[in-house]
Amino acid sequence: MTETSTRPRVLSGMQPSGESLHLGNYLGALVNWVKSQDDYEALFFIPDMHAITVPQDPAELRERTRKTAAQYIAGGIDVHKSTLFVQSHVPEHAQLAWVLNCITGFGEASRMTQFKDKTAKGGAESASVGLFTYPMLMAADILLYRPHGVPVGDDQRQHVELSRDLAKRFNHRFGETFVIPEAFIPAEGARIYDLQNPTSKMSKSASGPGGLINLMDDPKITAKRIKSAVTDAETVIAHDRESKPGVTNLLEILSTLTGKPVDVLVAEYDGKMYGHLKVDVADAVVSRLEPIRARTLELLADPAELDRLLAHGAAKARAIAAGTLADVYDKVGFLPPLGPVD
Ligand code: TRP
């Protein structure tokens, strides 16, 4: 069904950076992916090749890849509607990345802010070349599938921009090949902040674990963290990102989960205390995440079945990716490969 679809195509991925997705990954990305499945022909993948741009423990990486896949499915990715796969299962990603590396300027790659940020502490000297070429692999991930849209967080905007530049450059040099993809960046409300440090985005690498809500945490821990969230010295429940970032974050989490606009919530909490808001946020978060956690554990209990679903996704992805790569190889002047020779 996906191959013959006339719906516009979207593609996205999220790095399996931890043991669990967090609420920011879920509300900021996964929920939007799930919604997009009806209107778009959607492809979602786990970028395990991007993960090894920094050192990984092999057993842990394998585990995380499965856990991430299970959480995507438990969170609502329908493997019959959409294509869900693991990046390393589709060798065309690495193959196209090489070609794109060869049309990217060294200076151009050096201007990518993520590499600069990630090497700001340790220095570029100790970073891998893989980390440097990360954006070209990401461009390959995208361009192989000729998607119209790439739903990503604001932090990935520059990477999508590079993908567009490389697509245009290739098309110009070698003839029409790639679709120029657009970044679909969610509105501000979808951004979730750290509970202890509500001016920074919720992230694995942020402050301590107290600021983080993980999909796979025990619901009791989740409720406790929300109840200990940093607010401010006042008592008024109001939406103000500048002066009340903690309360604002809680309101936005609740609004995203309940579908109620923030101003409606603010009116409902008129005269109530922070404690009331926290209890309601904790209830809303736990009741949403608990079934996802349970379903994830169920999926992980049968890794062979999970691997089978991923193999099916990889086959669907390859059917698209192989066509694009063959076109690219031909256009750059590679000899056609022979079939089996006897
Ligand atoms: N760089 C993205 C992240 O860190 C993950 C990613 C890799 C991606 N390739 C992609 C996202 C292609 C969208 C499209 O989350």
Which atom, in ligand 1's list, is nearest to the CA of 159? 1
Determine the Cα–Cα distance for residues 314 and 300; give it in Å rounded to an integer.
19
* Ligand 1 contacts CB of residue 14 (under 6 A): yes
Distance of alpha carbon 139 from alpha carbon 169, whole angstroms: 12
Nearest CA to ligand 1 atom 14: 12
End-to-end CA distance of the chain: 36
Kindly give the distance from the C-alpha atom of residue 268 to the centroid of ligand 1, in angstroms, as a whole number.
Answer: 38
How many Cβ atoms sit within 10 Å of the Cβ of residue 86? 23
**151 CA distance to ligand 1 middle (Å):** 9
For residue 129, pLDDT beyond 50: yes
For residue 127, report the distance from its CA to the centre of ligand 1, in Å: 19
- 246-302 pLDDT tens trace: 999 999 999 999 999 999 999 999 999 999 999 999 999 999 999 999 999 999 999
Better-predicted residue by pLDDT, 201 or 168: 168
Q: Alpha-carbon dihedral of residues 194, 197, 200, 202, nearest 10 degrees?
A: -10
Give the mean pLDDT of the chain.
Answer: 94
- pLDDT > 50? residue 2: no
Tell me if residue 55 falls in helix, strand or coil. Answer: coil
| pLDDT of 188 | 61
Token couple for 282: 């904790």
Ligand 1 centroid, distance to 131 Cα (angstroms): 13
Full-model pTM: 0.93
* 11: phi then psi, degrees, rounded to nearest 5: -145, 140
Residues with a known catalytic role: 118, 201, 204
Q: Taking the CA atoms of 309, 310, 314 and 316 in sequence, report the sign of the dihedral they define.
A: positive
150 lines ligand 1 (CB under 6 A): yes
Our answer on whether the CB atom of 46 is closer than 6 Å to any ligand 1 atom is no
Q: Is the CB of 138 under 6 A from ligand 1?
A: yes
Q: Whose CA is nearest to atom 15 of ligand 1?
A: 14
Find the mean pLDDT for residues 50-64.
Answer: 95
Query: 192-214, pLDDT tens digit by residue?
Result: 999 999 999 898 877 688 999 99
153 closest CA partner among 279, 13, 56, 263: 13
How do residues 229-252 score in pLDDT, each as one tens digit? 999 999 999 999 999 999 999 999
> In whole angstroms, what is the distance from residue 23 CA to residue 88 CA?
26
Ligand 1 mutation target, pool 112, 152, 184, most atoms within 8 A of CB: 152
Q: How does residue 342 score in pLDDT terms, banded at 50, 70 and 90? A: confident
Q: Which of 50, 52, 90 to mutate to test the pocket of ligand 1 (most atoms within 8 A of CB)?
A: 50
Q: Whose CA is nearest to atom 5 of ligand 1?
A: 14
Q: Which of 155, 82, 143, 146 lies closest to 115, judged by CA?
A: 155
Instruction: Render 214-242 in DSSP notation, one character per residue.
Output: BTTS-HHHHHHHHHT----SS-----BTT
Ligand 1 geometric centre to CA of 126 (Å): 23
pLDDT above 50 (res 1): no
Q: Please tell me if the CB atom of residue 152 comes closer than 6 angstroms to any atom of ligand 1.
A: yes
Residue 198 DSSP one-character state:
T
